Amino acid sequence: MNLEDYKMTFMSASLILVLIASSPTVALLLPPGGERFTELWVLGSGHMAEDYPFNVREGKQYKVYVGVSNHLGSSAYYAVYVKFRNQTQLPPNATSSQPSAQPSIRDFRVFVANDGTWETLVTFSISQLSFLNRTVLVKRIVVNGVGSPVNYRSRWDSTDKGFFFQLFFELWLYDLASSRFSFHNRFVGIWLNMTR
């Protein structure tokens, strides 16, 4: 090795050491990277993405798990609204960021730290169900021990062979500027077939 090679090696090693030593300071000056988002999920009774309740009978209790993960870059205040609809009532619209017009039958309000997760068990049952000809009427649903009147009808679906309803969960985020919750354009749900 000649003198020029030693100089080049010394300068390269010095530059690498300076970059390594200054990297924590440089990281503080750069804006945080990565995509900011929130996850919303529903898991089945075994706490997995399977074994969701489907064929539902009056008076029997069913369970699912609902969860939220915050990746927004700061703590967030969320509302998860539990809603119920028949197959003709409109679900939330992700394209236009519109929530469902159905009323909330239960809600959960939680603070979730950045990169934190919240999850809860949701139990539900149908307490008043009546069949008449090719129509079923659900009068009341109980979620986590709290009953709510719904009075929704479903006609027999001859293609899929059932009386279908959906239990779904909408995610809302508290907006500091307006001092209220606004629909966060996320929802998940499970289809239910009412049976005797």
Q: Tell me the pTM.
A: 0.81
In the prediction, which pLDDT does 34 show?
73
Rounded CA-CA distance 172/185 in Å is 8
pLDDT in 10s for each residue of the chain, 196 residues: 665 655 666 555 554 554 555 555 544 444 455 789 999 999 999 999 999 999 999 999 999 999 999 999 999 999 999 999 999 999 999 889 999 999 999 999 999 999 999 999 999 999 999 999 999 999 999 999 999 999 999 999 999 999 999 999 999 999 999 999 999 999 999 999 999 9
Domain boundaries, the chain: 1-30, 37-195
Backbone phi and psi for residue 99, each to the nearest 5 degrees, phi listed first: -75, 170
Q: Report the CATH number of the 37-195 domain.
A: 2.60.40.10
Query: Buried b vs exposed e over 158-181: b needs ≥16 C-beta within 10 Å?
Result: eeeebbbbbbbbbbbbbeeeeeeb
